[in-house]
A and B are shown apart, each in its own frame.
Chain A
Amino acid sequence: MSIDMSQFHQVFFEECFEGLEAMESGLLSLDIGDIDPEAINTIFRAAHSIKGGSGTFGFTVVAEYTHIMETLLDEMRDGRRQVTKQAVDVLLGSVDCLREMLTSIQNEEDVNAESVAVHQSALETELNGESSANTQPNVVATPAINTAPSPIQSQEEDEEPEIEEEQGWKISFCPYLNLLKTGNDPVRLFRELSALGQLTTNVNIQDVPDFNELDPEECNISWDLVLVSDASESTVREIFSWVEEDCELELSPLAKPKKKKKPKVATPVSAPTPAVVETKEVIAPVIVPPPTTVVKKASSESDSAKNAPKASSSIRVDTDKIDTLINMVGEVVITQSMLGLIGENFTMDKVGQLKRGLAQLERHTRDLQQSVMNIRMLPISFVFSRFPRLVHDISTKLNKKITLKLVGENTEVDKAVVELINDPLVHLIRNSLDHGIEMPAERIAAGKPETGTIELKAYHRGGHIVIEIIDDGRGMDKSKLLAKAIEKGLVEESAIMTDKQILELIFMPGFSTAEQLSDISGRGVGMDVVRRNIQSLGGNIDIISELGKGSTIAIHLPLTLAILDGQSVAVGDETYIVPLVSIIESINITEKMLNKVAGKGETFKLRNEYLPIIRMREIFNVKTGAATKPNEGVIVVVEGQGALCGFLVDELLGQQQVVIKSLEANYRRVEGVSGATILGDGSVALILDVPGLVRLSVC
């Protein structure tokens, strides 16, 4: 039968990457001083599964590589080997190497043999505890994969021609009493034998006890068999391999014309019953495939997999979520049929019923929408799980002692957010590691614990997810920040700034505080990019920092990028949606609060602060706009780009959840507008891009 193995490759790769992640986090959590055997076992099992799978699916390079890892881990698991930091680092390196190998194989590219060789020799060195052994373990390793007999391999026996002369075998098969208890059955063995040639069975029942003493679960019978066949001895023994320790088995050749050849094969050891010993000796040398051919096979294998499907953008969904969804759909269908019934013979006295039905439909639709959105929700641990490794690697590089604390990893957030938040977070964590946490000596001198802590925390607040990066490092020196900004000409020397504004200087393009650029951070992709990325996700970023005590960076992001809580506002005939998150408050102002600044537009005074006013009517050129003066309409106070300002609109309409439709995909990008939505009456409303509008009005 031919089965296309490539159909399992996708699952195999996914499983491997999962396994590698498990190995990585397992390795990182290993406490060198106090080894938890279950932790090692988990790591071992992951390596073991990858090895098994890669062997089966023909990725021999991977199988060989994981075999070495497995051997190392096996020794650790059995306590035969000490778990050292060095060994853990080598294993971590191997995880990376494997990931690379698997990615290449998955993308049908060539495996980077050089990097594999480097990691492999590091592994082997670790395994052997010496530095010069490069090829040896390979040789040792290979037979272990294949040593055991299997029906296919045994046919490759090289002594076959010598046995060919034989006309058959006389077999004495005397099972022990317990043979049946492993589910083996002599009848099946004989069936296999008879497939090799002509089989004659002779039953010995002299050991069968009296009927009243008979235990039907025991095997009291033995057989003398004669097999007329040109099968080799090992082929015959192979059939008995599962029972070889539950029976006495003797094989002797039948009439043989060339007797001379036989002893050469069958009795290398001149023991009276060489049978059992011999099988193993015969089989062992046969199976070792030369390493070179193995490698070749692997590459041709991956060539032939050209038509395999590429990685697809799939998503794993909790079955519970799907069940909820199906329930929801059921409810909607019921409601729909109920409404259908009302509509069939509609009379006015059914209005109450109709209204109730519609209310129910509305509720169900909302629930359904929520359940569907839920499917896209992933725990933030998808992102967080990469960071222990990052922190481990970088802190080692920097010679700093740092522990990473993860809090709220199960907080769920939209898949798109998960994908896009990774890079900004990496950047921020690198910054904390590099600039935030001090060197151990410096920390001790400052009276802090030697080991610094970075806490990565996620939680839901309102319709948002908040991700905080909290370090207990040196904090930011505001005077230094300000001096630097002045030096770079980013702010005027005379500028008077609040603490918050000073801290936010680090988000300005071209601002980098590190006195020395390192390869960890400060590569020019600055905080301004981080902030822009987060804002493009509809979020914002805040900093709190205290000199000498540490910094907290908080990122607020919408839970989903597909739905938005919005405030509808009217400007003339048009309706606009202001994202609820940006709105601080909405107020009516009096003429007294207004303040015109020559050349800089108009402002109004709100609790001792002067806020600029942006007239929606003018920005969007809505001629029908009723509010021509700020005191005629409503001022929606919004926050964008870290600054407050007031949007002048005619009136507030109501709050609602809107489904975001991309304007770029359907029309083109419009400055000041982040998207559009379709209202209940079918008309289109633009969703305001608050930071964008603030920028627009400043320019």
Chain B
Amino acid sequence: MVSILAVDDSASMRKMVSFTLKTAGYEVQEAEDGVEALEKAMAHTFDCIVTDVNMPNKDGITLIRDLRQLSQYKYVPMLLLTTESSVEKKQEGRAAGATGWMVKPFNPDQLLKTLLKVLD
């Protein structure tokens, strides 16, 4: 089963993402910031990471940068969920190793469609 880690500090967004993914048959774990996400990602190797950008303690971009340092996450797809559509943010995300991004607001269908782009 494909396992996905959903990271967002906003509980409602996290629930929405996680519910959508679970309904679509993925196995999902949640984390509410980059620190928790990193911990969970070390304990279990996920097939995909979906993370918010702006979070307390550790933001999404730093999280991706940290994860890419780990050998088991070198090629794992990582998607950024962002309201910040500015070019710099994307550039920053890309430089950190983000596979792609989704711009909020998005609906469950868009999320699943985007996810299919990165899952084998």
Contact = CB atoms under 8 A, between A and B. Distances in A.
A52 B75 contact: no
Given A11-B12, A57-B16, A183-B75, 6 more contacts: A5-B107, A14-B11, A52-B52, A56-B104, A185-B75, A245-B94
A183 B101 contact: no
A183 B78 contact: yes
A188 B112 contact: no
Given A48-B54, A55-B104, A146-B103, A183 B97 contact: yes
Given A1-B108, A146-B103, A183-B75, A151 B10 contact: no
B120 A188 contact: yes
A147 B84 CA distance: 10
Contact of A183 (B54, B99, B103): B99
A181 B56 CA distance: 26
A647 B24 CA distance: 71
Contacts of A150: 102-103, 106, 110, 114
Interface string B34-77: 00000000000000000010111000000000001000001111
A15 interface: yes
B78 A15 contact: no
Given A1-B108, A151-B113, A188-B117, A53 B12 contact: yes
B9 interface: yes
A495 interface: no
Contact of A3 (B11, B23, B76, B85): B23
A63 B104 CA distance: 11
A183 B20 contact: no
Contacts of A63: 105
Interface string A131-172: 000000000000011111011100000000000000000000
A511 interface: no
A180 interface: yes
A242 interface: yes
Interface string B84-101: 010000110010011111
A507 B39 CA distance: 58
A9 B85 CA distance: 25
A8 B85 contact: no
Nearest to B98: A182
Contacts of B9: 45, 49
Contact of B83 (A8, A48, A217, A245): A48
Contacts of A182: 94, 97-99
B2 interface: no
Contact of A55 (B75, B105, B118): B105
A145 B101 CA distance: 14
Nearest to A55: B105
Interface in A5-45: 5, 7-9, 11-12, 14-15, 42, 44-45
User: Which one of B13, B114, B118 has the highest number of Cβ atoms from chain A below 10 Å of its Cβ?
Assistant: B13
B19 interface: yes
Contacts of A3: 16, 19-20, 23, 108
B68 A52 contact: no
Given A49-B9, A49-B10, A148 B85 contact: yes
A-B interface, 5 closest residue pairs, ranked by CB to CB distance from nearest: A55-B105, A12-B12, A183-B99, A242-B100, A148-B85
A181 B54 contact: no
A184 interface: yes
B112 A56 contact: no
Contacts of A145: 83, 85, 105
Nearest to B91: A245
Q: Classify the secondary structure of B's interface with A.
A: mixed
Interface in A168-213: 180-185, 188, 192
A57 B83 contact: no
A56 B106 contact: yes
Nearest to B90: A148
- What class of interface size applies to chain A in its complex with B? 35 or more
A246 interface: yes
Interface residues of B, number: 47
A51 interface: yes
Contact of B99 (A7, A52, A242): A242
A151 B117 CA distance: 11
Contacts of A42: 56
Contact of A51 (B83, B97, B106, B114): B83
Contacts of B16: 3, 5, 8, 56-57
Contact of A184 (B15, B56, B99): B99
Contact of A56 (B13, B24, B90, B113): B13
B105 A45 contact: no
A145 B84 CA distance: 8
B21 to A, nearest CB: 10
Contacts of B12: 8-9, 11-12, 15, 53, 57
A147 B109 CA distance: 19
B94 to A, nearest CB: 6
Contacts of B77: 183-184
B13 A52 contact: yes
B99 A8 contact: no
Interface string A57-73: 10000010000000000
Contacts of A181: 68, 74, 97
Contacts of A8: 12, 15-16, 19
A5 B109 CA distance: 12
A246 B94 contact: yes
Nearest to B55: A45
A166 to B, nearest CB: 23
Interface string A440-458: 0000000000000000000
Nearest to B113: A151
Contacts of A144: 85
B73 to A, nearest CB: 8
A150 B104 CA distance: 10
A184 B74 CA distance: 11
A12 B13 CA distance: 8
A152 B110 contact: yes
Nearest to B16: A8
A9 B94 CA distance: 32
A662 B83 CA distance: 52
A12 to B, nearest CB: 4
A242 B83 contact: no
Nearest to A13: B12
A308 B10 CA distance: 20
Contacts of A185: 75, 120
Contacts of B55: 45
Contacts of B90: 148
A63 B105 CA distance: 9
Contacts of A9: 12
A3 B23 CA distance: 9
A49 B8 CA distance: 10
A8 B104 CA distance: 16
A242 B106 CA distance: 17
B113 to A, nearest CB: 6
A48 B105 CA distance: 12
B118 A188 contact: yes
B11 A11 contact: yes
A45 B54 contact: yes
Contacts of A241: 100
Contacts of A45: 9, 54-56
